[in-house]
Amino acid sequence: MDPQNTEAKVLLSRAKTFRLHTGNLVNRSRLKKKCPGSTSEELRDCIQATMSDWVSMKKAASPGFPDVLDCSFPEATETITPEEREELKVSVKLFLCEAGQSAIGDAVDLACQTLAVSQLDSVIIAPPPPLEADQSLAHLQPAWEQLEALVRSQKIAAIGTSDLDKDLLEQLYNWAQVKPSSNQVNLASCCVMPPDLTAFAKDFDIQLLTHSDPKGQISTSLERLTLGESFQSLSLLFPLPTNIACV
């Protein structure tokens, strides 16, 4: 058995927190292809390439090691300089795996640290599954309260949502202390913005954005890794164009 594979398996079995950062610079040579066919394919390939490289290298110690494992490569990361920061808007999308307590604060801190910024201009949350059958305000409240605290501490300037219909967006808006500034709509679910959602967003100055992130792409990509481990905390950073970090 490959001793490096054995080492990786032992470390993964002991870790409570696993941080995987594919880099915010896409290295096509590592992916061994010119251009992915879809965002899901790019996500899967980035994770697999990063994991493969991590398994084959000597594991570097990180704060809390071995409870905390960092799977990252400095050469694939580029921070934002103070001069660039004036010209860039940094947005982060968080794909929540479950309702209730989450690592939102850790994810925001990790994104800021990675990009060398003190504040994120906006953070959008993708609700945890199930997205439709059991979607309710109570399902969103714990995560939203954490985001509100980060706004008050000036770690985030604005917060938004993803895939909320008009009724749920209205419930969130009426309940929240820090109002949603945006809501993403999946292009796969509609060709035209729903009129009731458009009217509500216009009345309350909520920006409607579009996205094409397949539902369940995070969980599907992780399943394909076949890690076989259970972590108390799992943070993933993926590359997106134009200096946007995704956690």
The pLDDT tens digits for 95-109 are 887 666 568 998 899
157-215 residue pLDDT tens: 999 999 999 999 999 999 999 999 999 998 776 667 889 999 999 999 999 998 877 66
pTM: 0.76
Report whether CATH 3.10.180.10 matches the domain 79-224+233-247: no
With a CB cutoff of 8 Å and minimum separation 6, the contacts of 176 are: 144, 148
Share of the chain above pLDDT 90, in %: 31
pLDDT tens sequence across 22-35: 776 665 555 555 56
The two structure tokens encoding residue 10: 């032992």
Domain with CATH 3.20.20.100 in the chain: 79-224+233-247
What is the per-residue pLDDT across 49-66, written as a single tens digit (0 to 9) for each? 788 888 777 666 666 666
> Has residue 11 got a pLDDT over 60?
yes
Say how many Å lie between the first and final Cα of the chain, rounded: 34
Q: How far is CA 234 from CA 15, 65, 71, 87, 106, in A?
A: 10, 15, 11, 31, 10
Averaged pLDDT, 119-143:
81
Residue 178 tokens read as: 């820090």
